[in-house]
A and B are shown apart, each in its own frame.
Chain A
Amino acid sequence: MSNELLIPLILIVPLLVAGAVLIFSSIPDVREASTLIGAVTLFILCCILAARVASGTEVIWPSPDGMQFDVALGLSFQFKLEPLGAMFAVIASGLWILNSLYSIGYMRGSRERNQTRFYICFGLALFGVMGVAMSGNLFTLFVFYEVLTLSTYPLVAHKGDENARRGARIYLLTLLGTSIGLLLMAVVWTFALAGSLDFVEGGLLAGKVGPVLGGVLLLLFVFGVGKAALMPVHFWLPNAMVAPTPVSALLHAVAVVKAGVFTIMKLAIYIFGLDMLSALPMTEVVLWVGCFSIVVASLIALTKDNLKARLAYSTVSQLSYVTVGAMLANTAGATGAGLQIAMHAMAKITLFMCAGAIYVATGKTEISQMRGLGRKMPIVFICFFIASLSIIGVPPLGGAWAKYELMQGAVSADHTYVVFVLIASTLLNVAYLLPIAILGLMPPNADNLEIAGFKRPGGAPALTVIPLMITAAGCFVLFFSVDFITDFLAPVFGAQP
């Protein structure tokens, strides 16, 4: 299959899924089957793509000598794969399969309404993710970034009650507001300065802007990418938790937020260039903001009793690892950031799926009500425990490597305080994640002998439990395959020192 076919196919498959869901809306089994088939197809295509990228083939569409997708004003659509984007596409499409299985169990288990709209928007969101992952210039990235924002808005507002509408309103306003108010300005400014928006090895802006303007642009970019949830534009994420749990799991732990930090990494590597970034005084400021986010979001997470809210703040904190890694602006830091995208995705989707499984089975959302629940749902709580350890960074789980590389990057960039921030964050991870699993597995205490019963007869549906077992196992696999990932990513960041 040629590249000319592969990239458009990857873009079209999610759209076809959305179309098929619409056509088969009255036959739920066929509707869900089409989602699953689409997800598997997409995953296979993304793997082929990644293999091409790994073999060093230039995957680009439309090819420079063929017909171009010119839009006007010198802007054009361009797709070009590099390892980081390929990895993001593989992660997102792979987890979409598991998440689709999980969605079927969850949505049917909790008898949600408007399931057709739900699956359509999911397909459209994946379309946006694939576009972001494969974008070959900043314009394309921006366009698909917005597609992602808009397609996930109906998912957040899914329930349609006052609370969901409020959450969705904040979600949309924050993401659209920052992207149109700040990101677009930065994009066009870059366009005016550099004359193009292509991703260039070594940085598009390198040598074209002074330190002051560069700093202003950097600030516009990092806060304009609201999806990266850098404080203070993080508050949309906890508000997005009104969405059904599969949405929180795939989109607000993996696809949407990772699209944000992925954008940050793309900007750091291909727009600014790591060399220019390390020379900018403003980078240090963004680094501080990132460290602040890591610690403060963890502290807020400690205070939350609602499980999904706690996980959301944990996500805010973990996302800033990626931003910090990018701002360290050296090979180890950027590698750590790249690894963190993969590791955190696997672990956090597991945690969210656990939260959803608990909700479907018992209707419980508050951590304080879950004491002793692990006795009734051991698999779910053990997987929760494993994923927590991966977030904390305990070997032999994937999260360990990301933290290791980040610390190495911090030391070689002479930002020792980042190491301390990471250590503090690890301790906070322990404090807010481990008690959930441990208390769940403990016997109920004396004054509360009654363990919460199952709301749904038979407990969590098998379809909600199997995917989270697979992702929990994935956390182990990632630990042992880290060489494979770093080798794969190496062309982006340059060789390890």
Chain B
Amino acid sequence: MPFDIVSLLPDALVRHLPALVVVFPMLLAPITAVVPSWRVAWAIVLAGIVGSVICAFALVQVVYADGTLSYALGGWAPPLGIEFVVDKMNAPILLLVAIIGTLATIYALPTMVKEIPEEKRALFMSAFILCMAGLLGVAVTGDAFNLFVFLEISSISTYVLVAIGGMNDRRAFTAAFNYLIMGSIGATFYVIGVGFLYAATGTLNMTDLAARIPEVADSTTIHAGFAFIVVGLGLKLAMFPLHQWLPNAYAYSPNFVTVFLAATATKVAFYALVRLLFSVFSPALEFQQMTFTWVLAPLAAIAAITCSFQAVFQTDIKRMLAYSSVAQVGYMLLGLALATELGLSAGLFHLINHAMMKGALFMAVGGVALSLGSSQLRDFAGVARKAPWTMTAMAIAALSLVGVPLTAGFLSKVALFKAALVEGWWWVVVVLAMSSVLAVLYVGRILESTFFKTPGPTQMNVREAPIMLLLPLWVLALANIYFGIDASFITNLTDGAASIAFPGVRP
């Protein structure tokens, strides 16, 4: 690790880190809600999330130094009590969520002023930090049912966050309602699946489940449980064709929410799927192998192509990027479906990179929309002349999305290509290459319009985004370049994560 955080923290704190990383933001949520000034609320949230970042950093360090951490919540020993487990697989996810959360919080300050009525801002911040706590909880828990609880905490607060967009654009209400219905179906499916597992094995602890499932793996109960869980989590992570809620939710929610959701919510759901598939079930199980090859891989391939194709024809930039997100989830799923250590590592690598580039893209679009009042592509004509810093950062992230060398997106694509070719799945490479070419098309539309069209009267009032907005934007844009030149930090983390999923391969 680049710097030593653990030695700075008191021992008593270090022991409770797995719980603190979640409890800290969660305790702040009610406080934030009752604080009279929204600025104070914002400051509290920021402090809380920075606390989570420190915890996450320390956890990564501890996990890499001492191996997996187990934390019995309330002192009730697992498997009966709820267990929090931090290992090399979820520590990077915690770090990602916390860091993106920090950047998003900074970004929230200028955008809230514009988009959210003053009396709602403190509540909005409260919902946000609650959502954050839920996501961190999903990442940290080692209990299948507890995962459902945290998933719902984060989801329900997300519905609120999306619906606040209705203050500006009433379509956000339908988007949020749609999301609510689909999300609840997903959560229900997941909990039904967990119920089946409980019926068959009599436990909810993930480690325990992993030990007991192989004995009963051929029962219909387990098969049904597996199917329910995959579909339920698939809804949450916008797996094609369960992604219909996503484009509208992204397009009509407040810009800050879009940034946060795009960079974290689907990523955490993806992690949950990986955790369930690799640490509870096992890729060695025959029905799972079949699901990978005949369900996940084809669906992911279709997503990568069709959703990229749909993205090309969108007129709203946020929707365009939303479709692109679904396609990119397809990339990650392809890596996962390879069911090899290399493939999973590549998929997670792409997951982290995608969080960085989509975060930056949505930030930039939101930054211009702040003064433009629209995210329609045609209204973005020539805005690069009015807001060069914002748009340059966007261009960097957009190139990363295409996978241009010297950006992070390029390396994760190469990693995916290589993982697929080593397995002999050359058709994956063809699919990814086609999807990348489509990405050139839609990214090209955005860049051409923003940089080479002449601004008209609509764009007269466009100004450079405020500094509080440029700061997180450029942090992400520069991260895209930095990790495009030296990605060893991320690949070390993702390799470590993949080694947890395939414990037999590497000691």
Contact = CB atoms under 8 A, between A and B. Distances in A.
Interface of A: 70-73, 75, 142-143, 146-147, 150, 154, 157, 160, 164-165, 168-169, 172-173, 176-177, 180-182, 184-185, 188-189, 191-192
Interface in B408-426: 411, 413-415, 417-418, 421-422, 426
B241 interface: no
B421 A184 contact: no
Contacts of B485: 71
Given A157-B448, A181-B437, 19 more contacts: A72-B487, A73-B414, A73-B415, A73-B491, A75-B414, A154-B451, A157-B452, A160-B452, A160-B453, A160-B454, A165-B453, A168-B448, A169-B444, A173-B440, A180-B402, A180-B436, A181-B434, A184-B414, A192-B418
B433 A184 contact: yes
Report which residue of A164, A172, A192 has the largest number of chain B beta carbons within 10 angstroms of its beta carbon: A192
Contacts of B276: none
Interface of B: 399, 402-406, 411, 413-415, 417-418, 421-422, 426, 429-430, 433-434, 436-437, 440-441, 444, 448, 451-454, 485-488, 490-491
B488 A70 contact: yes
A185 B403 CA distance: 12
Given A70-B486, A146-B405, A169-B444, A180 B429 contact: no
Contact of A192 (B406, B422, B433): B422
B486 A188 contact: no
25 contacts: A70-B486, A71-B411, A71-B486, A72-B415, A72-B486, A142-B405, A143-B405, A146-B405, A146-B406, A150-B399, A150-B404, A160-B452, A164-B452, A165-B448, A165-B452, A169-B448, A176-B404, A180-B402, A181-B433, A181-B434, A184-B403, A184-B413, A184-B417, A189-B417, A191-B418
Q: In the A-B complex, list the 9 residue pairs whose CB atoms are closest, starting with the nearest.
A: A72-B487, A143-B405, A188-B417, A192-B421, A72-B491, A181-B433, A146-B405, A180-B436, A177-B437
A125 to B, nearest CB: 15
A73 B411 contact: yes
The interface centre, meaning the residue of A142, A169, A176 with most chain B CB atoms within 10 A of its CB, is: A176
Q: Give the interface centre of B421, B426, B453 by most chain A CB atoms within 10 Å.
A: B421
Specify the main secondary structure of chain A where it touches its partner: helix
A404 to B, nearest CB: 38
A177 B404 CA distance: 11
A84 to B, nearest CB: 22
B452 A180 contact: no
Contacts of A168: 448, 452
Contacts of B453: 160, 165
A147 B418 CA distance: 22
Nearest to B494: A72
Interface centre among B405, B440, B453 (most CB of A within 10 A): B405
Given A172-B444, A173-B444, A72 B411 contact: yes
B433 A185 contact: yes
A212 B437 CA distance: 26
A252 B434 CA distance: 27
A394 to B, nearest CB: 42
Most chain B CB inside 10 Å of its own CB: which residue of A177, A180, A191:
A180
A188 B436 contact: no
Contacts of A143: 405-406
A157 B454 CA distance: 13
A160 B448 CA distance: 10
